[in-house]
Amino acid sequence: MKKILFIGLSIAAMISCSRAKETIEYGDYQYYIPENPTKMAKVIYGEDHSMISNPERGFCTRNGYHSRSSVISDYEINTLKSSKHTLVFFDFKLKEFISSPINSDMLGMMQRNFDKLRANGIKAVVRFTYSSSTSAAVYDAEPSIVLKHISQLKPILEKNKDVIA
């Protein structure tokens, strides 16, 4: 009789354990997985025609700077921000330095531009050009001058890598 009772209780225990809700333990918490999970809800999103800011992507505004240029203006910054542009294309014109080192005024103007962009959460696509014409008599600097310019620009570019896209 005890044997039959033991077998009966064992079978009842197995059945009750197999129908129990599954639990997952994580640290001090215990999560129960429901037997009948709810159905998924369908979500429909409507169109949004407003300008959406897309950091480091999308449209950019083109600006050219030479040694006599001023820093990007507050008006230009506000225009970028109001149109949700987060990129500006900086083309630093080095034509007047085609045969000489870049002067401190030009290097300082570059740094002030980067500082202003950083303060306003805008990044720059940076290019350096000697000329925009391939038909000019001299449209590029000699390799030795280019290497000198690279060594002059390296510290500025490294210092401002956070605002260069």
Greater confidence, 99 or 34? 99
The C-alpha atoms of residue 93 and residue 88 are separated, in whole angstroms, by 15
Q: Give pTM, 2 decimals.
A: 0.64
| 155 occurs within a structural domain | yes
Which residues 6+ apart lie within 8 Å of 30 measured at CB? 23, 24
Q: Which of 15-24, 54-63, 154-163 reaches the highest mean pLDDT?
A: 154-163
Instruction: Tell me which residue of 92, 89, 95 sits closest to 131, measured CA to CA.
Output: 95
Q: Cβ distance 163 to 118 under 8 Å?
A: yes
| 46 occurs within a structural domain | no
| 151 occurs within a structural domain | yes
Question: What HEC string does 106-159 produce?
Answer: HHHHHHHHHHHHHHHCCEEEEEEECCCCCCCCCCCCCHHHHHHHHHHHHHHHHH
The C-alpha atoms of residue 64 and residue 106 are separated, in whole angstroms, by 13
| 72 occurs within a structural domain | yes
| 33 occurs within a structural domain | no
Greater confidence, 22 or 70? 70
Total domains, the chain? 1
Parent domain of 158: 60-163
| 21 occurs within a structural domain | no
Report, as an integer, the average pLDDT of 129-143.
77
> For position 100, which CATH number holds?
3.20.20.80
pLDDT at 136: 63
| 35 occurs within a structural domain | no
pLDDT in tens, 29-86: 666 666 666 666 777 888 878 777 767 776 677 776 665 677 888 998 898 888 888 8
| 125 occurs within a structural domain | yes
